[in-house]
Structure 1
């Protein structure tokens, strides 16, 4: 169980960091928020993979995905966070 939690944190950090690199306007995001959005993105990536490819259908719709699916899910989640977080960035 502890190994699963640690692996989710590591995958969340990697996926969230790549999501932050891809999506602009993420400079004010903290590391814990990056990890959290990466973990959420991992589950969204697993859900999308399940819907599209029906892989691991016996495990159910909500499952952690591979690193590629996690990155795609994290990009989606980070984009939505930046879009709907309500923080307005002033550019000069």
Structure 2
């Protein structure tokens, strides 16, 4: 992994985690937490979307949407597990 791809991954993760925190009220993790949530969300969406046959396209905006949707799924699962 090159330095440029690592920086892009971190920026997309941070934006996706921040957006997911806004969508799912009550979750704010700071910069590092948002990056982690966004990257894990991208992995979750990477498994879920192909199984459903969904494709958002290519590019930075699609990657951010992809990771944000996965991060929202992650935060909703965490919320459900906290209540149980």
Do they fold alike, i.e. is TM over 0.5?
A: yes
- Superposition RMSD on alpha carbons, in Å? 2.2
Distance 1:20 1:84 in 2: 17
Distance (Å, rounded) in 2 between the aligned partners of 1:37 and 1:54: 21
C-alpha distance after superposition, 1:40-66 (max 9, x if no partner): 0011112112212276xxxxxxxxx72
Match of 1:59 in 2: none
Question: In the alignment, what sits opposite 2:78?
Answer: 81
For 1:54 and 1:82, how far apart are their aligned partners in 2? 25
Flag the 1:4–1:53 CA change in 2: closer, same or farther, 3 A.
Answer: same
Q: 1:30 to 1:54 in 2, by over 3 A?
A: closer
* Structure in which a larger fraction of residues adopt helix: 2
Q: Which has the larger Rg?
A: 1
- TM-score normalised to the size of structure 1? 0.68
CA 1:5–1:74: 2 relative to 1, 3 Å: same
